Amino acid sequence: MIKDIKFNDKGLIPAVIQDEKRKEVLTLCYMNKEALQKTMDEGKVYVFRRSRNALMLKGGSSGHIQIVKSIYIDCEGNSILIKVEQKTAACHAGYFTCYYRAISKDGSVKIVDEMVFNPKEVYK
């Protein structure tokens, strides 16, 4: 395990996932040591799902996995950036990135991207 990584008091570190080709941020997730080690060993992104208190392969249900291209650590060692090749889409709502909505100055939210897949067909 990388000695410079500073996991928080719950044993987690935030991981920004970015599409290598399109340069878009896909999502922010959390990893524990096991998730990070499996990610490095297998070359696919694993995350720690706080809501389920469980390790999971990103895209394991949908098949929309993330192939690791490179991993970076920030200057303080308390977050990581993983550049990936995204298969189909990263967002369970059907969009390529989880950041498909923009907030305007008046506080309203607008969808600024197009759906890549229908979640009702993928998550049956």
12-40 pLDDT, tens digit each: 999 999 999 999 999 999 999 999 999 99
Average pLDDT, the chain: 95
Whether residue 20 is contained in a domain is answered as yes
Q: How confident is the model at residue 4 (pLDDT cuts 50, 70, 90)?
A: confident
Residues 89-123 as b/e (b if ≥16 CB within 10 A, e otherwise) read bbbbebbbbbbbeeeeeeeeeeeeeeebbeeeeee
Whether residue 120 is contained in a domain is answered as no
| This model's pTM is above 0.85 | yes
Whether residue 121 is contained in a domain is answered as no
Whether residue 102 is contained in a domain is answered as no
